[in-house]
A = this chain, B = another copy of it.
Amino acid sequence: MAKMTLIDAINMAMAHELENDDRVVVYGEDVGVNGGVFRATIGLQERFGEERVMDTPLAESMIAGMGVGMAAQGLRPVGEIQFSGFIYPGFDQIISHAARLRNRTRGRMTCPLVIRAPFGGGIHAPEHHSESTEALFAHIPGLRTVIPSSPQRAYGLLLAAIRCPDPVIFFEPNRLYRLTKQEVEDNGEALPLDVCFVLREGTDVTLISWAPAMNETLKAAAELEEEGISCEVIDVATIAPLDMETILDSVAKTGRAVIVHEAPRNVGVGAEIAANLAEHGIYDLRAPIQRVTGYDTVMPLAKMEKQYLPSTARIKDAARRTMED
């Protein structure tokens, strides 16, 4: 078993599917010779040819819309949007078609399309390169939204996304692309697309997070442990459909919940989780729910991004607040 980074695992998952399923094609801006601006697709064109790993013209609505067309005609297209902040021109095709084709035709046509995009902040990139947009997709009926935060989960979830008979928005936290290495076996084993991951067991408070913020959340849990606060940590990962059962079970045990995400707070996915806890777990809650999120501001340029992102300190504060009540 090889130790590898999250981006290596992404690459390995695509290679695995290209190898084993003729219907799989990888396409997008600069995914060919260049291997993508982050090198997620590196070596794939060389190995599988230009017909299966295709550079496209610069047009995101085209990437999404042609993806719908290819998927409806039996391919398993894996499209790349260069950064999640450039997915918006493709929004209409995703919401009006990818997410609806099966329902619209009562199952006659389907749309097994994956759209991958690097996601989130923290890499000092230029404007529009650091967006956290999961809430916009989680609200759309008919769509799955997935964000892995470790090499193993990246591999297993991407396999699952490509094999999924329905459309999947697959965001990759670019801040974690090369942060750590983990052993990942190229065994072709997919992970389920609708179950959260309990990364750490604990008894006092449940920390619920996903995407790059998992990094700070896990750090906070480790540091809080030293203070005597025992944290259960959940990586939501499969943002939609949302596995509330795992979250409710955990909060039933701990009685406290801190939700952490990078996206703006207002009408974020954190709100949905908090709402569910309030609806179904209210009698378990021993303290008000805490949300530690990005501010309701535009993602700032590099100089200020550290101040925007939920820090380990803010997460720890929130956890401590739940212990006060």
Could you list which residues of chain A lie within 8 angstroms of chain B, going by C-beta atoms? 61, 85, 88-89, 91-92, 95-96, 99-100, 103-104, 127-128, 135-136, 138-142, 240, 242, 263-264, 266-272, 274-275, 277-280, 282, 285, 288-291, 295-298
Partner of A240 from the list B136, B266, B278 (CB cut-off 8 Å) is: B266
Residue with the greatest number of chain B CB neighbours at <10 A, chosen from A140, A278, A279 = A278
Nearest to A100 among chain B residues (CB) is: B298
Check if A289 sits within 8 Å of B267, measured CB to CB: no
What is the CB-to-nearest-CB distance from A107 to chain B, in angstroms, rounded to a whole number? 13
Contacts of A282 in B (CB 8 A): 278, 282, 285, 288-289
Q: A141-B298, A242-B266 are in contact. List 16 more A-B contacts (CB 8 A).
A: A61-B89, A85-B96, A88-B96, A96-B128, A99-B298, A100-B298, A136-B136, A136-B139, A141-B264, A142-B297, A266-B272, A272-B275, A275-B289, A279-B290, A279-B291, A280-B288
Asked, given contacts A88-B92, A277-B278, whether A142 binds B267 with beta carbons under 8 Å apart, the answer is no
Complex A-B: 27 CB contacts under 8 Å: A61-B89, A88-B95, A89-B92, A91-B92, A103-B297, A104-B127, A104-B298, A140-B264, A141-B266, A141-B295, A141-B296, A141-B297, A267-B269, A267-B271, A267-B272, A268-B272, A270-B275, A274-B274, A274-B275, A275-B275, A275-B278, A275-B291, A278-B282, A278-B285, A278-B288, A278-B289, A279-B288
Going nearest first, the 10 A-B pairs with the smallest beta carbon separation are A278-B278, A88-B92, A274-B275, A271-B271, A271-B275, A139-B267, A271-B272, A91-B91, A138-B267, A267-B272
Q: Min CB distance, A31 to chain B, in Å?
A: 21
How far apart sit A203 and B143, CA to CA, in the bound complex (Å)? 40
Query: Residue among A242, A264, A268, A298 with the most chain B CB within 10 A?
Result: A298
CA A25 to CA B139, docked complex, whole Å: 33
